[in-house]
Every structure is written in structure tokens, then in C-alpha cells.
Homo-oligomer: A and B are copies of this chain.
Amino acid sequence: MGFKARHYSEIRADEVTQEDVKGIKIRWLIAKSDGAPNFAMRYFEMAPGGFSPHHSHKWEHEVFVLDGDCIVVCGNEQKQVGPGWVVFIPPGAMHQFKNSGNEVLKFLCLVPHHE
């Protein structure tokens, strides 16, 4: 569990199968199993029409949008974002990500390790 250097596409994409989710695949680019002591880097692909759950949890999200168009909902705010945008969702905030375009939305979302 030491140095890792891989192209993201070599890392397996898993369909997210929760009920309140549509069209999302996740790749765990850097995970606890790689020896990462504190936080994980995940790569998301969201199909047109796709969305993440409108939910909250006690950990934060640190997001960087790579490709596509996205509406981010956080608390009472809503923001249209795209490639090169950075998004911070604080712990405990209700939030949702929705693909608002016609292309696959691609973004990184990092979280601290949690159960």
C-alpha cells in the first residue's frame, strides 16, 4: 500500500444502485484500501437526467467538476456549475447534484473516511 499512479479509466466503475439515485457510476480512485489514511478520492459519472440523493450526512464533500453541466443544491441555495468549478458542501447540509446538460457529467468528490 504505497505509491499509486493510474489512469482513472483503469479503475473499476460501479453503478450506484440506491433508490433515490439515477444514472450514477462511481470509481474509488484513492481509497482506504490503497493506504490513504484520511480521505478518499472518488470519480463520478452521471448520465443526462441523472441525480444524486437529496440528503445530508455528517461529513463534508470537496468537489471538482471535470466535464458537463450540473445543478448543485445546498441548503436553500442552488448553483449552476460546469468544468473547472469547485464545490464545498459542509457537514450536515442538505445537498443534491443533478446533471443539467446533455452530456455525461464528470466530477471528483472527496470525502473523509467514514463508516
- Which A residues lie at the B interface, using CB under 8 A? 1-9, 11, 29-30, 34-39, 41, 43, 60, 62, 64, 66, 72, 74-75, 77, 79, 81, 84-91, 93, 108, 110, 112
CB-CB under 8 A for A62 and B36, given A5-B81, A74-B3: yes
A75 x B5 contact (CB < 8 A): no
Q: From DSSP, what is the main secondary structure of chain A's interface residues? A: strand
Copies of this chain held together in the complex: 2
A66 partner residues in chain B, CB cutoff 8 A: 66
B112 x A3 contact (CB < 8 A): no
Q: What are 23 sample pairs from A and B whose C-beta atoms fall under 8 A apart? A: A2-B75, A2-B90, A3-B75, A3-B87, A3-B88, A3-B93, A4-B86, A5-B85, A5-B86, A5-B87, A5-B88, A7-B84, A7-B85, A30-B62, A34-B88, A35-B88, A35-B90, A36-B60, A37-B91, A41-B64, A43-B86, A64-B64, A110-B110
